[in-house]
Structure 1
Amino acid sequence: MRTSNKVRSNTKRSNVKDITQKTLERYNDVFADIINVLLFKGENVVLEDSLIDALPMSTLKMEGKIKSQYRDIAKYWNNSKINVSMFGLENQSKPEKFMPFRIFGYDGAEYVRQSKKENKKEAKYPVITLVLYFGYNGRWNQPRSLFELLDIDEKIKPYVNDFKMNLFEIAYLERETIDKFKSDFWILADYLYQMRVNNDYIAGDTVIKHVDELLMLMSAMTKDDRFEETINELSRKESVTMCEVLDKVEARGRKEGVISVLISLVKDGILSISEAAKRADMSEESFKQYLKS
């Protein structure tokens, strides 16, 4: 099943997209899947039940004021109640010039926090942040390290520590890598890959585990609200695939096309509201809501 090219503009879309990405990735099965594929080539190193949510907020002092900074998602990787590592995910739909500064600040704040723990003898752990870039119309074209941002005199460069981001361009991963994802993240990665390569998307029959979160994300990614609007229709089903979702999306598109014609006929005085509502197979009240929108 293919997606329609119909899209809708929404000035708040980028914020919605950010929120929905975070919601899907907050699930341990999705989070562990991302880490295992991108860092460990698909080996099941990080287990779901070894992950514990970390506070995404940290504070820093700037110009005499305490300011808060927020990661997208952060989780501790535990082994027998001992932190092995802290993983952070940062989502980017567009390249951002100062991203290395942001990541450096997040990681640095976590190391400072470790240094201030009451139990100074407690084992310290590394902090690893992954930047996930979801763009498929172009590669990441902004700095990936501090050195690319800083204007450094060559005389002092040997004494300046560089900091490189762990950047992953999801749409540009090898097909073999994408197919190692086992969670719902595979559907997103597959979508981005197909859109980059073919400028089109053919859905498969993979069963979706986190239906609401994935459909909200697809709605934000495609700028098509119909994905989100199908959630209630599919919520009662035990298993849902993207092919079924796209069938519903296309059916909604056809119905909305009919409603659009009926609205024009009502506004032109050719049909009454009651007759138009009957042809649209809906109540008069529901049809009036379309007239108002």
Structure 2
Amino acid sequence: MSNKDISQKDLLRIPSVVASLINFLLYDNKTVIRASQIRYIDLSEHFFFDKLLRPVFPDVCVFVSGSKRNLPFILCFENQTRSDSTMAVRNFIYIAAVFLWQLRQKHSSGFEWTKNRFVPCVVFTLHYGRFAWKPKSFRELFQFDSYPCLQPFLTDYKMNVENIACWDREKIESIRSDFRFIADYCAQMRASHGKTYEPPTTWPIEHVEQTLTALAALSQDPDLKKVFDEYVQQFKTNEQKGAPTMASVIAHILQRGERIGEQRGEQRGEKRGRQLGFQEAERKFEKKLHTLTREHNEMISTFVILAQKRMVEQGLSASEALDQLGYPETIRAKVLPFLVN
């Protein structure tokens, strides 16, 4: 989780990527917020970590300066690869941290404040997992209906969760930054049950290092990470970079396969070693690129826990929970005997 989290933070540390996401989420993808309006807020200087070493401030926090079309506001992003039942509490703490930060900045001239000095804050939780997450609201965390005398005084809290893997193709293609590679990967993993990824070869990559690092971290494939790292290093040292696309990354992987094939052919001393070695390496890396196998996700205990949790939370039978989770027949046959109706 930590490597994925850091990689996603790196991508969201690019003002143009954040500006495109804000326009995508808040303004129907119209160009309202520009990169020049994004200023990053470092809350880590003021707030600390809990006992589990989780920060009590969001992953990314930006101050969006005002313009003719909008007043200033603060927007935070929290990255999650799996659902968290305590996220409603954590989001509430994040917003409190932002307003405490604003209190401490009351004498600062570095930010454009409103007449009341405070600006509103919105937190978006970006969920990269394959299964749709319907988080509980604040009132659902306790037996709200059991406190009729308190209800007039209790405030509910709505979480803003974006299930990225559930975005449709048209929506993903409309994203005007490299974040669409991440969204496309999540959507394909959901559609193929975590088995197949077909990279969009024609899309240009503006921020090569951050995008490929994020994809490698999400895939948990060490070989893919290695070739991506090699490509990034090659890209850095190449003075005539041009406009990189995923096609150029694939070409690099195949060239790497050819080099490995040549080495194996020479070491074996076979007459056709170079040709056979190249073909073997090419097949290997094409397979690695187009079929990212999630072996660890095949752990039966994980599937059992997910299904049992769905049964308890939504009052489903074992078969209904498996249908809702979309498990294939091979997994259903292994999981069903362990589920208790």
TM value normalised by structure 1: 0.74
Does the CA contact (< 8 Å) of 1:144 and 1:167 recur in 2? no
Give SS of 1:59's match: coil
Q: Which has the higher contact order (CA 8 A, sep 6+)?
A: 1
* Identity between Structure 1 and Structure 2 (%): 27
Distance in 1, matches of 2:89 and 2:261, equals: 47
Q: As a proportion of its length, which structure holds more helix? A: 2
Q: Please report how far the alpha carbon of residue 251 of structure 1 lies from its aligned counterpart in structure 2 after TM superposition.
A: 4.5
Mapped contact 1:56–1:73 kept (Cα < 8 A) = no
What RMSD in Å do the two structures reach over aligned CA positions?
3.3
Shift of 1:35: 1.0
Q: How does 1:164-203 map to 2 (within 5 A)?
A: 164-198=158-192, 199-203=196-200
Equivalent positions of 1:77-156 (< 5 A) are: 77-79=64-66, 84-118=72-106, 122-136=116-130, 138-140=131-133, 143-152=135-144, 153-155=146-148, 156=150
After TM superposition, the structure 1 = structure 2 runs for residues 156-167 of structure 1, keeping only pairs within 5 Å, are 156-167=150-161
Matched, 1:73 2:71: no
Q: Could you say which residue in structure 1 is the equivalent of 2:252?
A: 248
Q: Distance in 2 between matches of 1:246 and 1:45?
A: 35
Q: Does 1:220 align with 2:217?
A: yes
Following TM superposition, by how much is the alpha carbon of 1:112 offset from its aligned partner in structure 2, in angstroms? 2.9
State the alpha-carbon separation in 1 of the partners of residues 233 and 71 from structure 2: 40
Distance in 2 (CA, whole Å) between partners of 1:170 and 1:61 is 27
Q: How many residues align?
A: 251
Partner Cα distance (1:61, 1:29) in 2: 29
Look up the match of 2:339: none
Tell me the residue number matched to 1:44. 31
**Structure 2 equivalent of residue 25 of structure 1:** 12
Do the aligned residues in 1 keep the contact of 2:59 with 2:77 (CA within 8 Å)? yes
Alignment of 1:200-211 (within 5 A): 200-211=197-208
Counterparts of 2:261 and 2:217 in 1: how far apart (Å)? 21
Matched to 2:211, the amino acid is: L
Could you tell me how far 1:84 is from its partner in structure 2?
0.8
Do the aligned partners of residues 35 and 157 (structure 1) sit closer, same or farther apart at CA in structure 2, a change above 3 Å counting?
same
- Structure 1 CA distance for aligned equivalents of residues 82 and 252 of structure 2: 30
Distance 1:24 1:128 in 2: 20
Deviates more, 1:149-158 or 1:202-211: 149-158
Measure the CA separation in 2 of the matches of 1:261 and 1:133.
45
Aligned partners of 1:71 and 1:106 also within 8 Å = yes
Query: Displacement, 1:247?
Result: 3.0
Q: Which of 115-124 and 244-253 deviates more? A: 115-124
| Distance change >3 Å, CA 196–CA 61, structure 1 → 2 | closer
Equivalent residues of 1:219, 1:228 under 8 A apart: no
Q: Which ranges in structure 1 are unaligned for 5 or more consecutive residues? A: 1-13, 272-278, 281-293
Q: Deviations over 1:62-113 (max 9, x none)?
A: 9xxxx96332111101026x97101111111111121111111010122233
CA deviation digits over 1:121-170, x for unaligned, max 9? Answer: 6532100111101112x1115x3421222233332233211111111011
Query: Unpaired runs of 5+ in structure 2?
Result: 108-113, 271-276, 279-341
Check whether the contact 1:60–1:109 (CA below 8 A) recurs between aligned residues.
no
- After superposition, the C-alpha distances for 1:34-79 in whole angstroms (9 at most, x for unaligned) are 11111211011211111111113243799xxxx9633211110102
